Amino acid sequence: MTLIAGADLYAPEPRGTTDLLVAGGRVAALGAGAAVQGDAVETVDGRGKLLLPGLVDALTHPCGGGGEGGFANRTAAIPAADFIRAGVTAPVGALGTDSIGRSLEVLYGSVMALRGHGLRAFMLSGAYRVPAPTLTGDIARDLVLIDPVVGIGEVAVAEHRGTQPTAQELRRLAAETRLGGTLKGCGGTVLVHVGEGAERLALLREAIAGSDLPAGVLYPTHVNRSHALLAEAAAWTREGGFVDITVSTTPELIAAGDITALDALAALREGDADLSRISFSSDAGGSLPLYRDGELVGLQAAAPSALNDLLAETLQKAPDQLPAVIAGLTANPAAALRLPGVGRLLAGGPADLLLADAQSGRVTDVMAKGRWLMRDGELVNG
């Protein structure tokens, strides 16, 4: 058993200074009932620390991404250590532009390797292209029969690199995905890559209109590309959908119109968005352009560390936004992807958690499935 004593708990709701007891891979108790002693209890001093659920990263590319412009622009696979150091205990892997040089089989192998390192990893079938590539030849079968598969994505709309799906194609894709999630008992969401096209979320609205599908089955990401897109995203949350802000960016992308995560959250708040339906993801493994004197000189890969950077930035620049940011890194993406028990710390729930310095926001300790993966900034082997 492990007792974390005196930490400032966000479950993700703020709970104040609290003790938390872990036993058998689960949260055994919170608060006064957690204060137990004995030789079998490891006591961790949580004073001066934030205690949060492990981060849920709704869009990552663990087998690598990129590839636009040729094979030399492919990004590398992401080791488990990078997720652990960032506090991500539930990465969700996906393919992107390239589902030819990369395959769902390779993605599956990467996700299972992350599980082998102790993470609660998941994956999406499909890719940018429609019809969506699958492992079994059928979207619903992928969800029902393949354990880590919890949805489809990232399907591209408003994007010149996509296959320009029609509203009917997107509706059918969403229906098949929802059916698979219904039979599986979890998952069943389509993660939608929204590009720079003027169409923005129009295709999503058309796909849902006149159908029996809820807006939540289509989960748009990269909604911080422009203020016009953020305005539509705010409306999407009011209609019952979830939206995802991409944290990873570069100064060049910001100069071209990208909006930083905290500014995007502020814009969504001003647009009367439902804050419980906003998430943040790293797009780890996705390619980001590198420029020198205005000339493209190469690409760098987005990293899981962007999420810890956001937590640290929030503490320093916008501490009043901390509850919304923490929820957007934990419970909200789990709800969007319908991952029961993930992204929350509650009695009887999974012991996936992190400790972060309360001043800097830097992750110091990470636990998944009740086992320490990092202690005092050092990875734990075995």
Strand partners for 245: 280
pLDDT at 205 (0 to 100): 98
Angle between helices 261-270 and 227-238 (to 10 degrees): 60
Instruction: Return the residue matching tokens 């599980």.
Output: 115
Q: Is the pLDDT of residue 208 over 90?
A: yes
Residues 6+ apart with CB under 8 A from 367: 2, 22, 54, 89, 351, 352, 353, 354, 373
The pLDDT assigned to 127 comes to 97
| Residue spans of beta strands (DSSP E) within 95-163 | 122-125, 149-157
Q: Is the separation of the CB atoms in 63 and 109 below 8 Å? A: yes
DSSP code of 290? E
- Whether 382 shows a pLDDT value over 60: the answer reads no
> How does pLDDT run across 216-229, given as a tens digit for each residue?
999 999 999 999 99
Identify the pLDDT of residue 294: 64
| In the chain, where the domains are located | 2-52+343-379, 55-336
Of the listed ranges 77-86, 96-105, 230-239, the least confidently predicted one is 96-105
Q: Binning pLDDT at 50, 70 and 90, where does residue 251 land? A: confident
| Mean pLDDT along residues 30-43 | 80
What six digits make up the tokens of 4?
């974390």
User: What pLDDT does residue 288 have?
Assistant: 86
Residue 142: which pLDDT band, with cuts at 50, 70 and 90?
very high
CA 289 distance to own-chain centroid: 22
- Give the chain's mean pLDDT: 95
* pLDDT category of residue 38 using cuts at 50, 70 and 90: confident
**Rounded Cα gap, residues 312 and 319, in angstroms:** 10
Give tens-digit pLDDT for 235-247: 999 999 999 999 9
The CATH code of the domain at 2-52+343-379 is: 2.30.40.10
Q: Which two tokens stand for residue 70?
A: 């040729």
**pLDDT bucket at 139, cuts 50 / 70 / 90:** very high
Active centre residues (catalytic): 283
Q: What CATH number labels 55-336?
A: 3.20.20.140
What's the chain's length in residues? 382
Q: What is the pLDDT of residue 291?
A: 63
Angstrom distance (rounded) from CA 125 to CA 234: 27
Q: What does the pLDDT read at residue 298?
A: 72
pLDDT at 267 over 90: yes
Q: Give strand pairing partners of 319.
A: none
Q: What is the pLDDT of residues 277-322, one digit of tens each?
A: 999 999 999 988 766 676 667 778 999 999 999 999 999 999 999 9
